[in-house]
Structures are given as C-alpha cells and as structure tokens.
C-alpha cells in the first residue's frame, strides 16, 4: 500500500501582531484574484492605494488582543489539529500549509515528500466550497507541486457541509451553551454576491427565488451559501430547534461590493433589541482565529450589549477537540477509501 499524506490547508495569518506583519499578510491575501475578483489595475489601486494604507493600523491591535503565547491562534489550533490527526491515523502523514503566510503550502509539501508520501490528499480546512478559500488553496497546492517537481497520486477532500462526522462534533460543542431561552445565531464568513452568482452556470437558479439557497440543485451543488444553509439545517435538526430559535448571518465584509446578507452585526443588534439571549456559532471556521476570537467574541458582543443585550455566548471552533479529531479522521479515511473502491 502506498504511503499516504494529507496537506491540511487553512487561510493564513500574520507572523506577528504588528502593522508590518499584518500589511505583508494582507498584501498577499487581498491581491489574490480569487479573493478580490476585479480587473488587475483596479485591484492594485484598491489594495495598495487604499486598504494597505489604512487597514493594517486598525487590524494589528485586534490581532494583538487575541495573540497566544505560542503565536497566532489560527496557526496554533491548525497545528494542534494536525498533531492530533497524526496520532489518530498513525499510518498517515499530516502537515499544515497556509494559503497566505507561514507555514507555506510549499514548505508543507516538501516535508510530506521528504517522508516518502506517495498518495496525497489535498484537504482545505473549509467545510463549505468557495472560490476564495477552497479553489484558491487547491490552485496554490497544484502550482507548488509543479514548482518542486513532485507528482504523487492526488486526491481532493472536497466539501463536507452536512457530513455527520462534521455535524455531530459541532452539535456536541453547541449543546452545552443552549437552554430553553437561547437563540442560536449561525454566523458564517461572508462572500461577495459575485462569487455566489458565478457558481450557477445555468443562470436560472441563483437568486431567482427566496428558496434558491435552501433547495438542492445541480446549479448550486458548489454554492457556498447553499452549503452554509445545509450545515445550518443539519445542526438545527440534530438540536431539535424550532424555527424561531435560530438565525443565519454573514460576517467579515470587506470593500464596497454587495455581500451575502444579513450581516452579523445587524442581526445581533436586532436580537438584543428583542431581548433575545444569544449563542453564536461559526461553522465555516474549523479553527479559532481573528474572525471568531475578536470579531465575534469582542466586537459582536460589544455591539450586542450596547443595544441592550443580556447574555451573549460564543461557541469555540472545533479546533483539536476529541470529537472533531475522531470525526475528521473518519472523513479522511472515507475519502482515501473512496478511491480504492
């Protein structure tokens, strides 16, 4: 049997919570055409001329507020996940590569090759397919495989938005936070609507009805918004929540383009004004980072309290929890097995 390896790819993080490091990270991230998909000259003007002059000064203190002794939370938790996965599947090599920043995808691939891996699974750590995350990570991995001259047998993990081995560990993390008065808010990372519309090659499904995101069709089989709704409904069913006890929202909007709605801040404000006690979960993120530890735990909480909220709880990401390591191990094993069957 060929030696197996898994490249676990996450989005990335600055090396340090400094303005210089954040600027370097954002430059690489935002100049990727899969992230901001406007013509090259306009992207350069927007990113270099506006965003990189302003945003690093604002974001660096936010990173500093969540920084761990070991470093960036996203990197720390991603690496811990890989270590636990190596223990769980001791016949498989695991490495973490960040799409932007360090450790790079190239360096992770070189480590896997040096350990004699012959069958390689490209595993973006994103349950929901998106151009800006899944597709960009796969493209970079394939590019770097060519750059280092390595040609292992390749597999792709794909999306797993309603896989029970993802849903059940998620439910077990959420359950202790809930009581009879809790309102569960599913806050997903946002995307520009242009990314969502592009997935519908038929042009006849996306945003043609109020139910386009909840109905499964060939046209939305790779739609991020549809995947988010599938995760939500899977969790809601497992928890037995009535329709008035949960809401979907989208966070982390950037730039002037139209993004998925409603925004997380607008929803928490409305829930606060209604007197709802809120529990927030962010299923798009498998590892805690800026978007969960600062944007939700600090910014969204403050916004909720300012508008009269009473109780606000944020569910930590799956990270390296035992239930998730077992679940992810099954997902990985099933993907390898699917090729042999």
pTM, 2 dp: 0.95
Lowest mean pLDDT, pick from 41-45, 179-183, 215-219: 215-219
For the stretch 208-235, pLDDT in tens is 677 778 888 887 889 999 999 999 999 9
The residue among 187, 192, 190 whose CA lies nearest residue 296 is: 187
Any long-range contacts for 290-294 (C-beta under 8 Å, 24+ apart)?
Answer: 290/13, 290/59, 290/62, 290/63, 290/66, 290/73, 290/74, 291/189, 291/251, 291/252, 292/316, 292/317, 293/66, 293/73, 294/62, 294/63, 294/65, 294/66
For the stretch 48-75, pLDDT in tens is 999 999 999 999 999 999 999 999 999 9
Residues 24-36, mean pLDDT to the nearest whole number: 94
Q: Which residue has the higher pLDDT, 207 or 322?
A: 322
CA 42 to chain centre: 26
Confidence class of residue 132 from pLDDT cuts 50, 70 and 90?
very high
Confidence class of residue 32 from pLDDT cuts 50, 70 and 90?
very high
Residues 154-175, mean pLDDT to the nearest whole number: 98
The count of other CB atoms within 10 Å of the CB of residue 315 is: 21
Confidence class of residue 341 from pLDDT cuts 50, 70 and 90?
low
For the stretch 261-275, pLDDT in tens is 999 999 999 999 999
pLDDT at 229: 97
Confidence class of residue 336 from pLDDT cuts 50, 70 and 90?
very high
The residue among 121, 149, 146, 110 whose CA lies nearest residue 4 is: 121
Q: How far apart are CA 69 and CA 170, in angstroms?
A: 26
What residue has token string 């996965």? 85
Q: What is the mean pLDDT of the chain?
A: 95
Residues 237-241, mean pLDDT to the nearest whole number: 98
């Amino acid at each position: 049997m060929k030696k197996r390896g898994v490249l676990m790819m996450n989005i990335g993080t600055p090396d340090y919570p400094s303005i210089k490091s954040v600027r370097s990270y954002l430059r690489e991230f935002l100049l990727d055409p899969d992230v901001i998909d406007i013509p090259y000259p306009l992207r350069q003007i927007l990113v270099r001329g506006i965003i990189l002059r302003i945003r690093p000064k604002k974001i660096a203190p936010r990173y500093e507020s969540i920084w761990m002794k070991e470093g960036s939370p996203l990197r720390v938790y991603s690496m811990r996940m890989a270590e636990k996965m190596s223990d769980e599947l001791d016949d498989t090599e695991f490495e973490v590569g960040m799409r932007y920043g360090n450790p790079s995808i190239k360096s992770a691939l070189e480590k896997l090759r040096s350990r004699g891996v012959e069958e390689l699974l490209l595993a973006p750590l994103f349950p929901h397919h998106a151009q800006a995350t899944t597709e960009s990570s796969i493209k970079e991995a394939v590019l770097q495989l060519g750059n280092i001259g390595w040609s292992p047998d390749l597999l792709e993990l794909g999306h797993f938005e309603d896989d029970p081995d993802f849903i059940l560990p998620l439910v077990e993390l959420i359950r202790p936070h809930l009581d009879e008065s809790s309102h569960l808010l599913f806050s997903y990372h946002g995307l520009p609507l242009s990314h969502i519309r592009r997935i519908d090659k038929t042009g006849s499904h996306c945003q043609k009805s109020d139910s386009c995101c909840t109905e499964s069709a060939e046209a939305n089989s790779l739609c991020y918004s549809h995947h988010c709704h599938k995760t939500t409904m899977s969790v809601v069913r497992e928890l037995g929540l009535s329709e008035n006890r949960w809401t979907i929202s989208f966070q982390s909007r950037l730039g002037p383009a139209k993004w998925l709605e409603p925004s997380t801040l607008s929803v928490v404000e409305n829930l606060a004004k209604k007197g709802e006690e809120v529990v927030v979960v962010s299923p798009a993120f498998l590892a805690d980072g800026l978007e969960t530890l600062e944007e939700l735990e600090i910014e969204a909480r403050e916004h909720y309290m300012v508008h009269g909220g009473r109780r606000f709880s944020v569910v930590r990401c799956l990270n390296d929890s035992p239930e998730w390591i077992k679940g992810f191990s099954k997902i990985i094993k099933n993907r390898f097995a699917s090729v042999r069957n």
